[in-house]
Amino acid sequence: MPFKSDTLSQRMEHACYPIRELFPLSEEIRKTGAEIYNASIGDPVPYLGTASYVVKAYRKALKEGKTSYCRPPGDFGFLDEIAKRYKRLYNLDIDSSKIFVTQGLSEAVAFLVESLMDKGRGAVLFNPYYPVYAPTVGLFGGTVVLSELDEGHGWAPSKENLEEKIKNAKSAGMDLKFMLVNNPNNPTGSMFSRKYLEDVVEVAKNNDLLIISDEIYDEIILVKEKMTCIGEVAKGVPHIIMNGLSKNWGGTGFRIGWVIMPEDDEGSKKLREGFTNLLSMRLCASTPAQLAGVEALSNAKAHRRYLKYIVKNIKERAEFMHKRLNEINGVSCQKAKGAFYLFPKIDLSKTKFKNDKEFCTELLRKEHVWVTRGSGFGLDSHLRTTVLPPVDILEKVAQGIENLVRC
């Protein structure tokens, strides 16, 4: 009997990841032998490498035969080092029993949304958003409510806009459960100030919303401002901190993330129980990668050296690209404060393209420049470019955008 397309569940309609959607076209172009100027995927490893002291620790774990399953919530030693990191960076006292290791932060998002969403329920996101959040909410039956970030003010959140969107969703009968914050931000490169985070916490508290904070870029800070962890401003308010080895240590392929659920309210306790069951069902995260994580978090001196190197390079590249993009007539771009992205606005009325999807497809086809469409992050007429490649490649990316805006 043939395998019919209606075999797939309805929820599969929500499964998508716009960052990779031009992959087939890029393969086609590569087959012709042409070079592609790729600023689409936020993987620092090809450009800046993984922190070498972490790779060494991974090798050591393999050599010592540390390749069996470990406990589902995570290796004890690794959990302790995660707790110490939050004391060291943010002066937070976190019991390691409230920390859970996941296979990348991506698994943390999937398991949290799975634990919290149902049909009729909703989640609040800031727009633009990292494109895994909204489809995952959809996959588990929920609906997203979007609160716009203010581009003209460095992509700041607006307390009034947030309150209004929540009020409207509640009036329409939606049962809102959580709000997801991403700081520093992908795609905008912005960083919420402490004051903005305090506003977000106040709104969440007034509306009984759990706050989930994705802080995967929390040590890639390109300005003098200090990063505020949600745990510093949300004490006593249900909140969750997520992070992992992918960006601050350049360890994307290790697939190690973590989730911290520090509060002691009834909901947080229940969530910790449910989450532990989900983690048990997938047995454990990679054991040798967690042991590499122990070294990643405990060797503060080596980590400082690696961070200094990557932040210096990212900062130079972000500054170059920010200036270069703003020189193009019809393009405007906010400065990045953290992470490794820029999110320029394209005045499509100056071009022959109807939307940013058309623009990005043609940019790849004609100029061999690969960036991601802003609409994939919830906002049309924008592009997301990484600033990981060296300046000569970034110049090709900017030149390609300029050529296409002009034509």
Nearer to ligand PLP, 133 or 353 (CB): 133
DSSP character string of 228-271: --HHHH-TTS-EEEEEESTTTT--GGG--EEEE----SHHHHHH
Nearer to ligand PLP, 242 or 394 (CB): 242
- The first and second tokens of residue 307, run together, are 């961070």
Q: What is the residue type of 64? A: E
**Minimal CA–CA distance to 88: which of 219, 262, 223?**
219
- Minimum gap (Å) between residue 182 Cβ and ligand PLP: 5
Nearer to ligand PLP, 254 or 306 (CB): 254
Nearer to ligand PLP, 144 or 405 (CB): 144
Q: At what angle do helices 391-406 and 300-326 cross, to 10 degrees?
A: 30
Beta pairing partners, 384: 372
Half-sphere exposure in the Cβ direction for 17 (13 Å, CA) = 7
- Minimum gap (Å) between residue 215 Cβ and ligand PLP: 9
- Residue ranges binding ligand PLP (CB under 6 A): 42, 104-106, 130, 182, 186, 214, 216, 244, 246, 252, 257
**Minimal CA–CA distance to 337: which of 250, 217, 241, 247?**
217
Nearer to ligand PLP, 120 or 253 (CB): 253
Nearer to ligand PLP, 196 or 249 (CB): 249
Whose CB is nearest to ligand PLP?
Answer: 104
- Minimum gap (Å) between residue 102 Cβ and ligand PLP: 8
**Minimal CA–CA distance to 126: which of 169, 183, 176?**
183
